[in-house]
Amino acid sequence: MPFSFTQTLRMALFMGSLSLMGSTLQTRELTPFTQVTVRSGDTLTGIARRMNVSRKSIMDLNDGLDPSHLKIGQKIKIPSNSKRSIKTSKNQFSIVPSKQSLPSLPSSEISPRLVSINLLGVAPINSESDPSLTFSRRLVAKIKNVTLDTVDLLWPVETRSISSAWGPRIRSATVKLANGLKKRIRYQGSHQGIDLTAPTGTNVYAALDGTVERVGRDRKLGNYIVINHGNEFETIYGHHKRNLVQKGDEVVRGQKIAEVGRTGNATGPHLHFEFRAEGIPQNPLPYLNDEEEIPSELQVRNAEIGRSTKKSNF
């Protein structure tokens, strides 16, 4: 029995709906994920930071998820893509690989009778000359009720443009062989902070309240500042054109402490920024507050610092 025009149209629309549903399902299946179980005291922000992903990526993967009403034992999907999007500025995104293939050292070409190594831009892990490694543990300007799951950082420069991410990194060094010749080699290394590109002279801000622990100049970091925030939290800022604070100064979140430059081992003007908890480097990205802006009153006071190198009375 032949179908009427109306019946044929209804069937076509029905089949089209099935096709669209299938396409939607296939699209979702292309996003790999793992599951975590909500524990006592968990928050969505804490889970995102623990899993090193953004809150938004979790919300996008869990339809109907209410972050204010998480239940103990609840299963939440966590994206496990090989690449993830990181917000670097308003309406601007950068793709940062979560894994990087690193070559091994060409050991077969190096004599076992290695007599000396000249490390360019690389320092031993126990080097006192590297200000980003060994600091005093004294607790100052303590931040109350702040843990690694709840700490919140201000972006130290307003450009929010990441040129080099935290984590695995290919480094290079000059090696002197037994025959007296020098050879440039590449090896597996680790970037213990993030690099934020910005024009020379751009303001550098304190990411949290604290006390300036160290100020100086280093072959690797150039002009640098270390701030102790209490609770074993420290932030490190490097490659400045000039430092605008002194050791012992108390600073507030959003206060101008330096200007972007390219001092030390830097290929262009940028800020090297590190965040450490109990001396252990942490990826700063999950802790940076994408929504916060510096209050207008503090901006006025920062402008005054920019016109003078005199010590500020914040």
Tell me, yes or no, whether 218 lies in a domain: yes
Give helix then strand counts, H and E, for the chain: 4, 17
Q: What is the pLDDT of residue 190?
A: 78
164 or 197: which carries more pLDDT confidence? 197
CATH code, 196: 2.70.70.10
Query: What tens digit of pLDDT does each residue of 273-292 get?
Result: 999 998 999 999 889 988 88
Residue 239: C-alpha distances to residues 113, 195, 243, 257, 282 (Å):
36, 10, 10, 13, 20
Write down which residue in 81, 97, 114 finishes a domain: 81
Point out the domain boundary residue: 81, 113, 147: 81
Return the bridge partners of 13, or none. none
Give the residue numbers spanning the domain of 72. Answer: 25-81
Q: Are residues 149 and 42 in the same domain?
A: no
> Are residue 269 and residue 211 in the same domain, yes or no?
yes
Same domain, 65 and 207: no
Claim to verify: residue 164 and residue 69 sit in the same structural domain: no
- List residues bridging with 118 in a β-sheet: 174
One domain, residues 222 and 134? yes
> Residue 29 pLDDT > 60, yes or no?
no
Residue 165 identity: A
Q: Is residue 180 part of a domain?
A: no
A 10 A CB-CB count for 243 gives 21
Decide which of 253 and 89 is more confident. 253
Confidence class of residue 208 from pLDDT cuts 50, 70 and 90?
Answer: very high
Tell me if 273 sits within 8 A of 258, measured CB to CB: no
Better-predicted residue by pLDDT, 198 or 97: 198
Report if residue 200 sits inside a domain.
yes
* pLDDT digit string, tens, across residues 132-188: 433 333 333 345 557 787 888 999 999 999 998 888 776 677 788 888 888 887 766
- What's the total number of domains in the chain? 2
**237 within domain boundaries:** yes
- Would you say 57 and 79 are in contact if contact means Cβ atoms under 8 Å apart? yes
Residue 232 maps to a domain:
yes
pLDDT band (50, 70, 90) for residue 32: confident
